[in-house]
Amino acid sequence: MPNLLRLDSSADLRTSRSRSITATFADAWTELGPGHTVTRRDLHTDPLPHLVDADLHWPPRLRPADAAPPAEAERLQQTLLDELLAADVLVIGAPLYNYSVPSTLKAWMDNIHVPGVTAPFDSDTQPLRGRPAVVITSRGAVYDEGTPTAGWDHAVPALELVLGTALGMSVSVITTNLTLAEKVPTLADQVGRSRDELAAAHRAAAELAARLGAA
């Protein structure tokens, strides 16, 4: 049965745009039939601990002889790896927080990026090569080329590097900008663009979910 792994990381449980778009993606996925399952992990309401031991960055065979990471942390990391490896498609809600990913999402990335297991190190290891990963990113302002804030988004590049380059996944990005347009007076003149981009992101998410689920 095709399985979708849905991750949310927004701290806004009421009006989050990234959460609403991942929900649209998941709804379109399940509408393809009862065999299309969803595994959901909410990284904000059920946050992961940061790596408690640097040796968890490596598989046992590559750790120092005296390595002894906590067994509970090893079990949690294995659960996260199993969830990812069992997913036919990954969708991540990744709002831009202080120009980067939320720390809760970074903790997940640190757990699943394991050289020699999910990424190459001592062998050409990429078990997720070619598997679709969809990043839903919401940004409070604009980061268009030619604007003073161009290049300030360090969230999407990090996800593309870890998921795409290191893990070999096929990464698609759906972006909605100006999430603060209706709250910040200096952005009020761009409310129209904000709403248009949100609607377009929902359409793109539904269409992409249907396409990937039918593949």
pTM, to two decimals = 0.96
- Which two structure tokens, joined as six digits, stand for 38? 């969803």
Rounded to the nearest 10 degrees, how much is the dihedral formed by the CA atoms of 134, 31, 13, 105? -30
Q: C-alpha 88: how far from its chain's center? A: 14
Q: Which residue type does 184 have?
A: V
- The pLDDT tens digits along the chain (215 residues) read 899 999 999 999 999 999 999 999 999 999 999 999 999 999 999 999 999 999 999 999 999 999 999 999 999 999 999 999 999 999 999 999 999 999 999 999 999 999 999 999 998 999 999 999 999 999 999 999 999 999 999 999 999 999 999 999 999 999 999 999 999 999 999 999 999 999 999 999 999 999 999 98
Q: If residue 84 lies in a helix (H) or strand (E), which one and from where to where?
A: helix 71-85
Q: What separation in angstroms does the CA of 158 have from each of 72, 99, 106, 162, 173?
A: 28, 11, 10, 6, 12
Domain regions of the chain by residue span: 3-214
- Which two structure tokens, joined as six digits, stand for 188? 């009020």
CATH assignment, 3-214: 3.40.50.360
